[in-house]
Amino acid sequence: MTYISSEQMRRERIAYDKIDKNVKDRITWAVGGGILDDVINKYNLSGSVLDLGCGNGKTLLSISDKFSELHGVDILDILSPEAQTKVNFSSADLNFEKLPYGNSSMELVTALQIIEHLENPFFLAREVARVLRPGGIFVFSVPNPFNLAFRLKFLLTGNMPPWTEKNHHLLFLTNDVFKKTYLAHFNLLETVYQRGAIPGWGRLRVIFGKKLIGKHAMILPRSKHFARAVCFIMQKP
């Protein structure tokens, strides 16, 4: 798969669901695992919520009963018919265009498995800080570069599975890059790791066949050593 820039996506109207056939029906692990609901309840969030890279609107629909205003931004409008009746949609290139909202206008901003696709993810951090009210919450998830299997692959090949020619992932967040970019604008409240999969399970299925080796489950504990992805819960000072 060749990387497709946001300019080309907009110009040729190439939506994410055309690049990845699973996007249309997928809901992210942070939503499906109840992490986003836990954050909303724990920090008593209501009012206005903004989902960045909102896609078909499934994330916003899953929390629609908790907020008075639902806002979504993406490069193209691919909202489902149900979401179109509930979500206030705006088109923006998250790499380079300012978010079309006023300062301190949002109580919660989410960006779930989106930021790793961006060419300019640090511009977005500044924009989120601008539109969040003081005390507002920013929840975002990205691939986890500290997974032990990923690190071993990097040692042997110089590449990691979440960042290959065959996907659209660009951002690689080391601890220090995270500190001098995102943590320059937000206080880190919590770090939640995805449950881990058994390393090499997919290779076993290729060798012995899918009928003999069943589909793996995410059964390893939440840990930076096993997780494929990580979710950060952050607060604007």
pLDDT, tens digit (0-9, with 9 covering 90-100), for 19-66: 555 454 457 888 988 999 999 999 999 999 999 999 999 999 999 999
Q: What integer pLDDT is reported at residue 24 of this predicted model?
A: 47
Higher pLDDT, 120 or 6: 120
Q: Structure pTM?
A: 0.89
**C-beta of residue 115 within 8 angstroms of C-beta of residue 232:** no
pLDDT, tens digit (0-9, with 9 covering 90-100), for 160-203: 988 988 888 999 999 999 999 999 999 999 999 998 776 665 66
Higher pLDDT, 187 or 222: 187
pLDDT, tens digit (0-9, with 9 covering 90-100), for 200-216: 656 656 666 666 666 66
Cross-strand pairs, 235:
137, 187
Retrieve residue 51's tokens. Answer: 């989902």
Tell me the Ramachandran region of residue 27: left when phi exceeds 0, alpha when psi lies from -120 to 50, beta otherwise: beta
pLDDT, tens digit (0-9, with 9 covering 90-100), for 74-118: 999 999 999 999 999 999 999 999 999 999 999 999 999 999 999
SS3 166: coil
**C-beta of residue 72 within 8 angstroms of C-beta of residue 54:** yes
Q: What integer pLDDT is reported at residue 221 of this predicted model?
A: 76
Cross-strand pairs, 110:
51, 139
- CA-wise closest residue to 232 among 101, 142, 134: 142
Q: What integer pLDDT is reported at residue 188 of this predicted model?
A: 98
